[in-house]
Amino acid sequence: MSSGSARGAIYILNGPNLNRLGRREPEIYGRTTLAEVESACRAAAAQRPVEFRQSNREHQLIEWIHEAIDDSAAGIIINPAAFTFTSMAIMDALKMFPGPIIELHISNIHKREPIYHRSYMSPVVTAVIAGLGHKGYSTAVRAMHDLIE
């Protein structure tokens, strides 16, 4: 049973460099842009409101997690990008959120170099999705529906 709000929005938060998606390293991250990912998320969310955001700043991501808490968001899907491996501050903010949280990665971080293996987020989230490419986002939205209802 989730403590997210039945009618609240799904916050989909994206960390540093993901605004460049589709433009560099297509062999790892694919050719789909973040704008296309956002459209797919909105389609998968159907009637549920979506707050889709991206920032290169740790502070901004923390502010948006606080906003999700104050807004009684239904759930958070977060791709913290490089902050996954560095940010106790984002981890602490996520710990304050009472509803379901999905940590999402486009690539399978566990198949990559050892620096990508230790996530600060995984111990405090509900579920982790990694390695499904950009389609992981719509998979995460569908999974979030199941967690909320």
- For residue 79, state whether it binds ligand CA2 (rule: CB under 6 A): yes
Is 110 one of the annotated active-site residues of the chain?
Answer: no
Is 29 one of the annotated active-site residues of the chain?
Answer: yes
x/- map, 3-32, ligand CA2, by CB under 6 A: --------------xx-xx-xxx---x---
Catalytic residue among 29, 120, 134, 137: 29
Smallest separation, CB 115 to ligand CA2 (Å): 8
Looking at 30, 60, 116, 135, which residue binds ligand CA2 (CB under 6 A)? 116
Sequential DSSP letters for the chain: ---S-TTPPEEEEE-TTGGGTTTS-HHHH-S--HHHHHHHHHHHHTTS-EEEEE-S-HHHHHHHHHHHHHTT-SEEEEE-GGGGGT-HHHHHHHHT--S-EEEEESS-GGGS-GGGS--SSGGGSSEEEESSTTHHHHHHHHHHHHHH-
- Our CB check for ligand CA2 shows the closer of 97 and 134 to be 134
